[in-house]
Structure 1
Amino acid sequence: MPENRENHDNEEFAWRLTPAETVSAFVRGALLIDLRTPTERASQGLLPGAIVVDPSVLEWRLVPGSGGHLPEMTSYDVEIVLVSWDGSSSSVAAERLRELGLWRATDLAGGFEAWRAAEFPVGGDATAIRG
């Protein structure tokens, strides 16, 4: 069992977040990971403060010690919120990351569609949602 899974099996955790909960997670330090394609981001807009990661290298970029992990991935306890266009692929990806020991991986329910429907800011400036 990975070191990070110890003592976390019984903890309550919201596996899918609303847009408002996603903002709260970001403000407390969660990584927002945008899984959308370049074409989707160009036509739909950017998620403020998000790190873009191609789904094909997601595990390599987010699993600590993988050799290609993001500098922000200092441990298996980092909170991660994945975002796809409609929430379907991000939900599957979050489940896979949890299976790998990233027990705080979750996603934005409804994806970027839900973000826009909630009329949250769009653009690359993290201060738009950090406050």
Structure 2
Amino acid sequence: MVSGPPPGARSIEWILADRRRSLHRLSPAEAYARWLGGALVVDIRPAAQRAEEGEVPGALVIERNVLEWRFDPVGEARLPEATGYDVEVIVLCSEGYTSSLAAASLHELGLTRSTDVIGGFRAWREAGLPATGGTGTPAGS
């Protein structure tokens, strides 16, 4: 049986809403236009999800568990694309929840032009934007 929450505990809904306050989230069409203008689209979904749902051709694939290390402008594990604090990063997950938390985390590193896609990859694909692959078979089936 779960007892009451400890002092300071927040629900994931509260945390998500709080983190999204720092973001200017993008529709799939807005994200695509920014990508064409030089923003980096970063897909943080695990390999099984990308295999099932498909991928954005040309997006950087950086799984969620290493995102901050790859984009910290002063970190030793940063990617060549992590050119500084002004890089525009558009984070993409499956439905737009995890990506909001990830983009807010990049804000904490100082990458304040980071954001995510409303509705995630699923909305991207439904909007008819460039996507490849996908089996439609649930991961693990």
Which residue in the other structure is 2:128 paired with?
119
| Aligned partner of residue 16 in structure 1, secondary structure | coil
Mark the structure with the bigger radius of gyration: 2
CA distance in 2, matches of 1:14, 1:25: 15
Runs of 5+ consecutive residues of structure 2 not aligned to the other structure:
1-21, 134-141
Q: How far has the Cα of 1:121 moved from its partner?
A: 2.1
Q: For residue 93 of structure 2, what is the amino acid of its counterpart?
A: S
**1:89 and 1:14, CA in 2 relative to 1: closer, same or farther beyond 3 A?**
closer
Matches within 5 A, 1:24-35: 24-35=33-44
RMSD: 1.5
- 1:40 equivalent in alignment to 2:45: no
Q: Percent identity?
A: 47
Q: How far has the Cα of 1:114 moved from its partner?
A: 0.6
| Aligned partner of residue 67 in structure 1, secondary structure | coil
Matches within 5 A, 1:61-76: 61-76=70-85
CA distance in 1, matches of 2:130, 2:80: 26
Q: How far has the Cα of 1:100 moved from its partner?
A: 1.6
Tell me how many residue pairs correspond in the alignment.
112
Which residue in the other structure is 2:6 paired with?
none
Q: For residue 39 of structure 1, what is the amino acid of its counterpart?
A: A
* TM-score normalized with structure 1 length: 0.81
Which residue in the other structure is 1:91 paired with?
100
Q: Cα deviations across residues 2-35 of structure 1 (Å, max 9, x unaligned)?
A: xxxxxxxxxxx96111111111111111111001
Runs of 5+ consecutive residues of structure 1 not aligned to the other structure:
1-12, 125-131
CA distance in 1, matches of 2:117, 2:89: 10
- 1:102 equivalent in alignment to 2:96: no
| Aligned partner of residue 68 in structure 1, secondary structure | coil
CA distance in 2, matches of 1:105, 1:24: 15
Which residue in the other structure is 2:59 paired with?
50
Q: How far has the Cα of 1:117 moved from its partner?
A: 1.5
* TM-score normalized with structure 2 length: 0.75
CA distance in 2, matches of 1:30, 1:49: 12
